[in-house]
Amino acid sequence: MRVVAFVGRRLLLVALVMAIVSVLIFGVVQILPGDVAVMILGTSATPEDLAALRVKLGLDRPAPLRYLDWIGGTVRGDWGTSLLYQVPVRPLVLERLGKSAVLAILALAVAVPLAIGLGVVSALRRNRFLDQAVGLVTLVAVSLPEFISGTVLILVLAFRFPIFPPSSLIDPRVSLWSAAPSLVLPTLTLVLALLAHMTRMTRASMIEVLEKPYIRAARLKGLRLRLVILRHALRNALLPTVGIVAINVGFLIGGIVVVESVFAYPGLGRLMVDAVNHRDVPVIQMAALLIAVTYALANLAADLFYAYLDPRIRY
Amino acid sequence: MSRSVDAAAEIAPGRGALAAIRRGAGLARAVLAPSPPAMAGAALLAIHVGLAVFGPALAPYQYAQFNILHTLEAPSREFLAGTDQYGRDQLSRVMWGARSTLLLATASTLLGVSLGVLVGMLGAFYRGLVDEILMRVVDALMALPALLLAMLLLTTVGANPVYVALGIAVVFMPRSARVVRGVALSLAVSEFIDAARARGEGGLYIIFCEMLPNAWAPIIVEVTIRFAYAILLATSLGFLGLGAQPPAPDWGLMINEALPFLAQAPWLAILPAAAISTAVVGANLLGDALREALALGRVGEAP
């Protein structure tokens, strides 16, 4: 019962933050200087055309009313029509969200176990050769923006050694499964970025745990190192790792936006970039809101998992 | 490690330009001397600063100079890093591009961290309603991933390096504000602040003349973290077409423009990619060393 109340309270908090975020998204897109109608039609448009477009977009009405219209429509399931593609926004963004989710889940599934393993091994071999090698490689990987690592991967694994296709422009008629080879390079790019961040963080938290008195006590009472790591250190070092994964969901979302552009992958990020470039306001707003909700839910899931893992946290 | 901490701790507190320079020199000694990676990072950054200052003067060609007879040429003696589809010299474009990239990263970092310092200090000092409102704004801004927020901010104002800098500053503000607020909260309850209050000093005087000088170490660390990230964000936005517009020699934009020709002209991507990565690696190496020297080695900074 207390669990239900705890989860309910957290969900309420997420809803509250999302309400503020929706105001933020709306405000940033619609109230910042810059006239959407001029952006769409160009500066050479006649005043009549501009006025007509403003009426069509509802821009002649006061901003608070427009905000309420938008939120009301969103809640009812009427997400508006894309200005660029002239299709309803809802099926468009939901389909793209699914495509992006495939990439994100693949990347996390590969990166999380690898990062924990590498982080733990580096922490155990602290300042030895392996640790320094991993440290150097992850430092370089952290410093590479995804569009550079992606480009380098294309150069090497698609052109120099033609193993994987360079683009993920998937024919919508074929199943995602048969398009699997074209998912390899984008996933690899994301894994590289995630791995670097998460390995560094896991190493730091593992080192912190290894210096705790109870680890020394376990060693002193004669337990074998392997057992100390498995039974005592790893368990406690994994707690922050849950938080680390949650932090990296933010990196991951930014990375996906860039990676989808590099590989022409038809996901939500690329849709968002195209929408921003073409001032497709209804798509921008919904895509941003969806991404924000996904981000918030990922953080919530991490919090709940954290509370479940750590018996000290009482609801 | 311990040596650098000692050296950093020895740096005498003081006011005025001379003290600041002495403090800076002492810090540089403490950070660079014991650590080869820090030296490498400083050297990489120095090369980039050199490029930013002298690049346009040293570049063999204008960044937008077309050479219709030499399009998509591989590196040669005439064009050391090859040419793009308009026959523009790639080396010259990268050299011209250093200035705007570094300026953009520096401006957005300084502005963003300054705003964060202001918000964090105000919240921590006044507490109560002020703190509550500021922190809710910070929460809302943090609820959007960094790149997404920057993209949203650039939606209506249009793609322009000045707006990119402002956008990145807005992205950095809440993240810096949280860090600074944490530091300032513990400063705000210390005795010398009580003393200043008892003397009847005003709030802004206490914030800027009492708290700020005692928070400079974490603020410098914050600046180094943000600077590397600013280069990443700025070039990513350029790559997405949301920053500088053609024919600007923007490094991120150059890689975007190179993508369609990647199969026949891989050199188009390699040089700008190397320029971006060396700048970020340099900033990260120096930042890591600085963090260790200041003994604040906390990894796990939120994006």
- The structural domains of chain B, with segments of one domain joined by +, span 53-284
Task: Say which residues have a Cβ less than 8 Å from residue A272's Cβ, sequence separation at least 6.
Answer: A257, A283, A284, A287, A288, A291, B148, B151
Residue B34 has pLDDT above 70, yes or no: no
The average pLDDT across A141-155 equals: 88
Q: What is the pLDDT of residues B278-291, one digit of tens each?
A: 999 899 888 888 87
CATH fold group of domain B53-284? MetI-like fold (1.10.3720)
Structure confidence at residue B297 (pLDDT): 43
Structure confidence at residue B102 (pLDDT): 92
Residue carrying the six token digits 């600085």: B290
Structure confidence at residue B205 (pLDDT): 87
The lowest-confidence range among A96-110, B8-22, B88-102 is: B8-22
Task: Say which residues have a Cβ less than 8 Å from residue B235's Cβ, sequence separation at least 6.
Answer: A145, A147, B101, B250, B251, B252, B276
Taking an 8 Å cut-off on Cβ atoms, the answer to whether A143 and B280 are in contact is: yes
Q: What average pLDDT does the structure give for chain A?
A: 83
Q: What is the pLDDT of residues B180-229, one digit of tens each?
A: 998 888 888 888 888 888 888 888 888 888 888 888 888 888 898 899 99
* Closest-CA residue of chain A to B157: A34
Structure confidence at residue A175 (pLDDT): 65
Higher pLDDT, B295 or A265: A265
pLDDT band at B5 (very low <50, low <70, confident <90, very high): very low
ipTM over 0.90: no
Q: What is the pLDDT of residues A163-217, one digit of tens each?
A: 888 776 666 666 666 677 888 899 999 999 888 888 888 888 888 888 888 888 8
Does A20 contact chain B (CB < 8 Å)?
yes
Pick from B159, A61, A55, A58: nearest CA to A47: A55
Does B155 contact chain A (CB < 8 Å)?
yes
Q: Which of A36, A250, A277 sits opposite B156 (nearest CB)?
A: A36
Structure confidence at residue B13 (pLDDT): 47
The structure's pTM equals 0.84
Looking at chain A from residue 131 to 150, which residues have their Cβ under 8 Å from any Cβ of chain B? 139-140, 142-148
Highest-confidence segment of A48-57, A243-252, B36-45: B36-45
Does B250 contact chain A (CB < 8 Å)?
no
Does B288 contact chain A (CB < 8 Å)?
yes
A·B CB contacts under 8 A = 163
Q: What average pLDDT does the structure give for chain B?
A: 82
Taking an 8 Å cut-off on Cβ atoms, the answer to whether A155 and B147 are in contact is: no
Q: Which of B235, B241, B255 sits opposite A151 (nearest CB)?
A: B255
CA B4, chain centre distance (Å): 24
Taking CB atoms and an 8 Å cutoff, what residues of chain A touch B283?
Answer: 143
Helix ranges, B158-215 (H) = 161-188, 191-199, 203-205
The lowest-confidence range among A137-146, A250-259, B8-17, B144-153 is: B8-17
Residue carrying the six token digits 């040089």: B271
The average pLDDT across B230-235 equals: 93
Taking an 8 Å cut-off on Cβ atoms, the answer to whether B235 and A247 are in contact is: no
Q: What angle do CA A289, A291, A297 make, to 5 degrees?
A: 100
Q: What angle do CA B111, B112, B114 make, to 5 degrees?
A: 65
- The total number of residues written for chain B in this structure: 303
Q: Which of A28, A211, A265 to mutate to test the interface with B (most CBs of B within 10 A)?
A: A28
For residue A88, the SS3 value is strand
pLDDT band at A131 (very low <50, low <70, confident <90, very high): confident
| Cα–Cα distance for residue pair B137/B119, rounded to 1 Å | 10
DSSP state of A228: I
Does A272 contact chain B (CB < 8 Å)?
yes
Does B147 contact chain A (CB < 8 Å)?
yes
